[in-house]
Structure 1
Amino acid sequence: MQMNTPSFHQHFRQLAGMSPLRYQKWLRLNEARRLMLNEHYDVTTAAYAVGYESLSHFSREYSRMFGESPKRDITRLRKSVGQL
């Protein structure tokens, strides 16, 4: 089955509830979050591990997605599950 780009984007958005680009960011940022929380990666290592070349860009995108900085978010999550 062949599909043009606009049709793909429309179908993807209907299924996933977000654009393909936003979904890719969501996947990358959630993987970084998992690495920091479960594997104890620092922010820089997690950012580079998921493909960000700029730490400031990663931190901005992370804050937009999760509502707080990576360090603050991970500290809060660790407290909530008793990992400190």
Structure 2
Amino acid sequence: MGLFLDGNSVEFNKYHCKLLIDYFDMKSKADFCYVDKHDKMERYYYSQKAAEFVLRELCKDPENILTKLKTKKVPGAKAF
């Protein structure tokens, strides 16, 4: 599967992951994310279910999804 951003082939990275996490508001979904609040800094851990969800979303439209998400302004804008 080729993944694209702004028409250019890219390798999936942390920025792309953050686009998906923000767009689908994954940090607020208990079945996708666990928040460790034991330290001063919160740490987020994502489940296998979250990883599979991200992969399914990427496979739906690998040529356009990242570009579309990059232009979205409101986190959690899409319900699923």
| TM-score when normalising by structure 1 | 0.25
Write 1 or 2 for the structure with the bigger share of helix.
Answer: 1
Whose strand proportion is higher, 1 or 2? Answer: 2
Larger RCO of the pair (alpha carbons < 8 Å, separation 6+): 2
TM-score, length basis structure 2: 0.25
